[in-house]
A and B are shown apart, each in its own frame.
Chain A
Amino acid sequence: MNWIRKNIFGLGLLAPSIIILFVVSIFPMIYTFYISFFNYYLPRPNRAYFIGFENYIEILKDGMFWLAMKNTAIFMISSIGLQFIFGLGLAILFYDEFRGRSAKAFYLPLILLPMMVAPVVVGYVFRLLYLTEWGPLNYLLGFVGLGPYSWTASASTSLLSLVIADVWQWTPFVTLVLLTGILSISSELFEAADLDGANLWQKVRYIILPLITRVIAVVVLIRMLDSLRELDKVYILTQGGPGTSTTLVTFWSYLNGFKYFKVGYAAAMSIILLIVTVILATGMAKVLHKEEK
């Protein structure tokens, strides 16, 4: 009681958000969990019947699910890896520009534009860029003697096409967050390093990387959660094809739940996905939590 009285102000501030989130999220959560134990084909709503763990067993036995998981893992690791490498590189390039004269560089807002474009639009515009015969990308690559590649029309390059679109859209975000991390490092450290004659690589290795671990963890966590939810771009760019080469697990569950309307099956898949996500996120959160202490 005493604790409540002491924290009444904080509780008051918190209450509206918690109530909204609770009300809006609790019903879908419980419903999803409940329906995951049913065979429920939506166009036949009266014929839903309880089947226990059968949906879960079916999913784990289904080769398509594991393939989708594999695709998701490849997509996630390669796109986050590339975003991190490019993002860090750009952030280091930019930090010199920002020391002393903050945010004056005109090009910073320019490189932020990709993340503001709707994913639906990104999907469509990249389809234009990837056109095999008429697209500008193959045309430009032709000048350096490469290609023509079939991009989204070939199973060997379609996942790469998806990764490129994702890298294009989200590298700016990674750059921005890493840049702020670097900027928050006390400039005296850099000055001291300059005096000692340290080169760029040494500065990165011994000052920047150790001091922004936390920021790196945050940005990787956020990107990881987002790529596990990646749907719009796949949906528009490749529809999971050719073959099954770009069928990510969210797209697969979207197909099952919202196109085939096997609501129970898709719900079970969502629960499995949620468990995977929470395990991954908890791992990352441990890093954050430790840093915060």
Chain B
Amino acid sequence: MKKLLITFLLTVFCFAGIANAKPEPRPTFDGVTVTAALHSGPFVNAWGPHVKRIKELYGINLELVGIPVNELYDKSILELSMGTGAYDIVQYNPGWVGDYIDFMRPLDDYMDRWDPGWMDIHEGFREWENTYGGQRVSLTMDGDVMIFYYNKNMFEDPKEMADFKSTYGYDLAPPANYDQVLDIQKHFQRDTDGDGTIDQAGYSDPIIKRGRGQYPYLMRLFAYQKEAGITPNYFDPDTMEPLINTPEGVKALQNYVDTVANGVPGMLQWEWSEAHTCFMTGKCASLIHWPDEGLMTAAFTANTGSAMGFADVPSKANMTCGGWVAGVTADSANPEAAYMVLDYILGPDVSTHVALYPGGGTDLFRQSHFDSAVVKMIAPQEYLDAFDSAIGDIVGELRIPGGFEYYDSLDIQVQKALAGEISAQEALDQAAENWKKITKSLGADKQKEMYAKAMGY
């Protein structure tokens, strides 16, 4: 019943938002068409209800073009690099910005004239997603960061706690580092109904499947780097030597390989929805995932009878692991109008409604979201605190030209290690070799300069 009520309230709230949002004094652009290239499905759906209001307020015809998420990068880059001028607004991963930056319009002058609620955006996102080389180039659309979720019934069960303590010699709690993750996984993974197949998982990483498998590795790399007292880094900023095959890197990958090897069968093909379902139905004791689950505590409790627990990721080495931003393209014929659209939809007033759009795929990213009455109603304070603290721990994505290829070539080797084809050391040596090749082919000096920009050195 409570779930229904919340859904109802949310719906009313989201649609009410379309009419209630108050415009700042802004110019109008009668008859101008602005085309936005968005992730098809969730984002197109969430922006759709605002098209009419934008027309009323600014006279802008907003066209939404949905692109399948897996092809978003390639299609946009193809159009942008050919200078087709097809899109005024593009949605992209902060990690791709190294390739996008030349085609995007810096927004400093617009933001100075028409403040998009800049300071209201969470500092971590402002720094790691929207700013590049000292310029403001985008607005966050989706506040992604990783959170450690756990099933409180399982974690706070006295018998489990006693068993855990006696086996591993320390208290059962959200893991402080990735070695403890392995213990927790081993402890909770079992065959509950005794039919010979494992039906309860102890722990799951976010997307492991080929395509995104580099993220769990990188988070571990940064965690082990932090523990060794090294500043988290992809490259040595002075020499552009890859740091992925250092002893910390090998430890990180070995931990990842062990987690997958000890995990439930089939895990190598898991994506967002598999891990999500496993946790939400109570078949997974713990999970590191994006912030979406925290807004679904009602459903979780209805399914499992347990409360949802939240904690920082091990060693507090966090990443956005994707995340979405939107910017205005350099070849846009109407950059001001395009900016107005971003400013309207991603500004403090409307974005709260967009962020809560059911199935919209947007996570909270502004202070005003965290303070919103509706958010406080559906999300436990514990979650908001964990979320807030996680954003403070973000290590930036690899925001240099070729970012996509660096990630993908790393993922290929990581996957080989996960599949047991080669050892962690071999995989990372090969990946580092490939990274050096990419750096060389894109120009080592240029890459070094961009890396310093990207990491804020």
Contact = CB atoms under 8 A, between A and B. Distances in A.
The answer to whether A and B touch directly, with their CB atoms under 8 angstroms apart, is yes
B253 to A, nearest CB: 13
Given A39-B441, A43-B81, A240 B210 contact: yes
12 contacts: A43-B81, A43-B102, A44-B442, A152-B269, A153-B265, A154-B419, A155-B419, A245-B419, A255-B408, A259-B404, A260-B408, A261-B74
By secondary structure, the A interface counts as loop
A136 interface: no
A41 interface: yes
Nearest to A236: B70
A148 B404 contact: no
A226 interface: no
A213 to B, nearest CB: 41
Given A41-B402, A239-B210, A244 B415 contact: yes
B15 to A, nearest CB: 33
A30 B180 CA distance: 58
Nearest to B96: A43
Contacts of B1: none
Q: Considering the complex of A and B, which 3 residue pairs feature the smallest CB-CB distances, nearest first?
A: A132-B266, A241-B210, A243-B419
B210 A155 contact: no
Contacts of B80: 43
Interface in A33-54: 39, 41-45
Nearest to B427: A243
A43 B74 contact: no
A91 to B, nearest CB: 35
A242 B419 contact: yes
A97 interface: no
Interface string B404-421: 110010001001111111
Nearest to B409: A260
Interface string A39-73: 10111110000000000000000001000000000
A148 B197 contact: yes
B408 A243 contact: no
Most buried by A among B80, B81, B267, B401: B81
A270 interface: no
A260 B197 CA distance: 41
A242 B270 CA distance: 11
B415 A43 contact: no
Interface residues of A, number: 33
B355 interface: no
A190 interface: no
Interface residues on B, range: 35 or more
A281 B315 CA distance: 57
Nearest to B78: A42
A153 B267 contact: yes
Most buried by A among B78, B80, B415, B420: B415
B296 interface: no
B418 A243 contact: yes
Contacts of B210: 238-242
A124 interface: no
Nearest to A133: B266
B401 A241 contact: no
Nearest to A257: B74
A127 B76 CA distance: 28
Contacts of A132: 265-266, 269
A64 B408 CA distance: 14
B226 interface: no
Contacts of B441: 39, 41, 262
Contact of B415 (A42, A148, A241): A241
A154 B401 contact: no
Contacts of B408: 255, 259-260
Given A41-B441, A43-B401, A259-B73, A154 B81 contact: no
Nearest to A41: B442
B211 interface: yes
Interface string A240-267: 1111110100000001001111100000
Nearest to B437: A58
Nearest to A42: B81
Nearest to B212: A239
Interface in A83-134: 127, 131-133
Nearest to B213: A241
Interface string B69-105: 0000110011011100000000000000001101100
B209 interface: yes
A150 interface: yes
B161 interface: no
A127 B273 CA distance: 14
Interface in B259-298: 264-269
B265 A148 contact: yes
A133 B421 contact: no
Nearest to A252: B412
Contacts of A42: 77-78, 81
Contact of B421 (A151, A239, A244, A260): A244
Contacts of A154: 268, 419
B453 to A, nearest CB: 16
Contacts of B269: 127, 132, 150, 152-153, 242
A43 B77 contact: yes
A207 B100 CA distance: 64
Most buried by A among B266, B267, B441: B266
Interface string B391-409: 0000000000110110010
A238 B269 CA distance: 8
A148 B264 CA distance: 12
B298 to A, nearest CB: 25
A128 to B, nearest CB: 12
A245 B269 CA distance: 13
Given A41-B441, A42-B77, A150 B401 contact: no
Interface in B416-434: 416-421
B75 to A, nearest CB: 9
B73 A239 contact: no
A118 to B, nearest CB: 14
B77 A261 contact: yes
B405 A260 contact: yes
Contacts of B197: 148
Contacts of B73: 259
Contacts of A244: 412, 415-416, 421
B106 to A, nearest CB: 17
Interface in B17-65: none
Contacts of A240: 210, 412
